[in-house]
């Protein structure tokens, strides 16, 4: 396998391990009365925060797909071409499953449609940037989702915080984010993306994601004032940003992206895929067990 780190002497190509398959799978998750209102650690703040992230996913993942599709004709590596097809399919499945979850959130009285309209405006502005800048944004956001996916799969305490009715969705999503974590980065390298572009857009995208996620979370909390608890809010913030917090613990990994020779597979966590892949198969709805290849349009 050629190495992207010898840029200038070889053509950048996929560095995804050969044993990692990037294949889409529709799951058919259902959400109803079995899902507690506060399904993450029985915590008001944490549950609304994760619901807010779910609202971001369908449109966000469409932006990811669009940013990669703009460079499809410039990809020369056959392996990377196939991985791009798998990436597009997986993102399509993520979108469909989170649309189902978002309908559940909407049914709880949350202003999902209004938030989606605001997100559409933000992504509309981003889509007017130069094409490679859009791809750099996608690379940055894929780095962040890969970090969170690795944490969720590696830390038993994080998974155990989730109610059993929600856990399969997030574990499945984390598996697939890990499988395709380098695809957009390898495309970016293939089409001449620069260190300055990817570094700037990691900082930019982190700030933008933080603002949107905070805004969406706040909107949901305001719509659910009856559930507010100062104690719960404090516990939730500590769980995210305190010692060994779910987000604070990711800061060193976030910073690794600024290494000039960084690559997502520098941290080979493919054993986590193998560990959870078989378990998650049991949660595929019967009608999708033979696969589903619908893709985003």
Instruction: Name the residue with higher pLDDT: 4 or 27.
Output: 27
290 secondary structure, DSSP code: T
* Per-residue model confidence (pLDDT) at position 6: 38
For residue 49, give the nearest of 174, 259, 219 by alpha carbon: 219
One DSSP character per residue, 246-277 reads TTGGGHHHHHHTTSTT--GGGS--HHHHHHHH
- Per-residue confidence band for 13, with pLDDT thresholds at 50, 70 and 90: confident
> Do 49 and 213 contact (CB within 8 A), yes or no?
yes
> Do 106 and 54 contact (CB within 8 A), yes or no?
no
- Mean pLDDT, rounded, for 35-53: 96
Cα–Cα distances in angstroms (integers) from residue 204 to residues 136, 138, 141, 154, in the given order: 10, 11, 10, 27
> Do 169 and 29 contact (CB within 8 A), yes or no?
yes
* Per-residue model confidence (pLDDT) at position 105: 96
Q: How far apart are CA 45 and CA 230, in angstroms?
A: 10
* Per-residue model confidence (pLDDT) at position 11: 56
Mean pLDDT over the full length of the chain: 93
Where are the chain's structural domains?
40-262
pLDDT digits (tens, 9 = 90+) for 155-181: 999 999 999 999 999 999 999 999 999
* Per-residue model confidence (pLDDT) at position 224: 94
pLDDT digits (tens, 9 = 90+) for 103-144: 999 999 999 999 999 999 999 999 999 999 999 999 999 999
Q: Is 19 exposed, middle or buried (0-12, 13-18, 19+ CB in 10 A)?
A: exposed
244 secondary structure, DSSP code: T
> Do 199 and 189 contact (CB within 8 A), yes or no?
no
Q: Is the pLDDT of residue 297 over 50?
A: no
Q: How far apart are CA 45 and CA 136, in angstroms?
A: 31
* Burial per residue of 119-130, b for 16 or more beta-carbon CB atoms within 10 angstroms, e otherwise: beebbeebeeee
Q: Is the pLDDT of residue 237 over 60?
A: yes
Q: Is the pLDDT of residue 294 over 70?
A: no
Q: Is the pLDDT of residue 273 over 60?
A: yes
How many helices (H) and strands (E) in the chain? 11, 0
- Mean pLDDT, rounded, for 284-292: 84
Q: Count the Cβ atoms, other than its own, within 10 Å of residue 249.
A: 17
> Do 139 and 204 contact (CB within 8 A), yes or no?
no
Cβ within 8 Å of residue 127, ≥6 positions away: 63, 66, 134
- Mean pLDDT, rounded, for 256-277: 97
Helix axes 44-69, 112-126, angle to 10 degrees: 40
- Mean pLDDT, rounded, for 249-278: 97
**Phi-psi label, residue 38: left if phi above 0, alpha if psi -120 to 50, beta otherwise:** beta
Both tokens of 250, joined, read 């990711």
């Amino acid at each position: 396998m050629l190495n992207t780190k010898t840029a200038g002497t070889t053509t950048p190509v996929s560095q995804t391990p050969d044993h990692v398959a990037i294949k889409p799978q529709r799951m058919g998750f259902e959400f109803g009365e079995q899902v507690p209102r506060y399904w993450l650690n029985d915590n008001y703040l944490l549950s609304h925060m994760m619901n807010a992230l779910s609202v971001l996913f369908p449109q966000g993942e469409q932006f990811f797909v669009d940013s990669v599709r703009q460079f499809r004709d410039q990809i020369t590596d056959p392996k990377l071409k196939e991985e791009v097809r798998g990436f597009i399919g997986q993102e399509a499945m993520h979108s469909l499953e989170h649309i189902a979850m978002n309908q559940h959130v909407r049914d709880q009285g949350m202003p999902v449609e209004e938030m989606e309209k605001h997100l559409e405006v933000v992504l509309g502005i981003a889509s007017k940037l130069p094409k490679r800048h859009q791809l750099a944004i996608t690379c940055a956001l894929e780095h962040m989702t890969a970090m969170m996916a690795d944490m969720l799969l590696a830390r038993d305490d994080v998974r155990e915080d989730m109610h059993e009715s929600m856990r399969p969705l997030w574990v499945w999503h984390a598996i697939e984010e890990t499988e395709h974590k380098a695809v957009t980065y390898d495309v970016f390298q293939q089409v001449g993306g620069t260190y300055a572009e990817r570094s700037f857009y990691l900082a930019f995208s982190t700030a933008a994601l933080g603002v949107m996620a905070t805004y969406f979370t706040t909107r949901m909390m305001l719509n659910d004032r009856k559930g507010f608890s100062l104690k719960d809010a404090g516990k939730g913030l500590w769980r995210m940003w305190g010692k060994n917090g779910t987000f604070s613990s990711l800061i060193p990994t976030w910073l690794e992206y600024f290494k000039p020779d960084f690559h997502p597979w520098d941290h080979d966590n493919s054993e986590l895929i193998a560990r959870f892949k078989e378990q998650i198969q049991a949660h595929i709805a019967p009608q999708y067990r033979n696969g589903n290849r619908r893709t985003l349009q």
